[in-house]
Amino acid sequence: MPLSAYLALAAAVFAIGLFGVLTRRNAVGILLGIELMLNAVNINLVAFGRFHADLGGMLFTLFTIAITVAEVAVGLAIVIVIFRVRRTVEADHLDLLHG
């Protein structure tokens, strides 16, 4: 398979993730969208690594996975705390940052 196929897949996954982030009301859903976007990047990294015969791509993927895990943990923790305080995780209601 050519490289472009992998890149197309990654782009599709990224687009789906972005769509999820933008449209989901639920904070957990948004987090899932972010996960998809990150994995799209991972696909790109692995694909490039494979086609350029460069282990750096794989290495970075491992890094990303590790960081993603941490990010999810922190993100979910924040969501839980928000739920405790505000009794909701609906994104539309979380506008404390408004100017």
- Binding other proteins by CB under 8 A: which of 22, 53, 55, 85? 22
Residue in 30, 62, 32, 70 with CA at minimum distance from that of residue 45: 62
Euclidean distance between CA atoms 48 and 70, whole angstroms: 25
Q: Is 97 in the site for other proteins (CB under 8 A)?
A: yes
Q: Which is nearer to other proteins, 2 or 99 (CB)?
A: 99
**DSSP at 14:** H
The site for other proteins, by CB under 8 A, has a size of 13
Q: Is 41 in the site for other proteins (CB under 8 A)?
A: no
Give the separation between CA 53 and CA 67, rounded to whole angstroms: 24
Can you state the angle between helices 27-51 and 55-86, rounded to 10 degrees?
Answer: 180
Q: Of these, 30, 38, 40, 47, which contacts other proteins (CB under 8 A)?
A: 30
Q: Nearer Cβ to other proteins, position 62 or 94?
A: 94
**Does residue number 94 form part of the binding site for other proteins (CB under 8 A)?**
yes
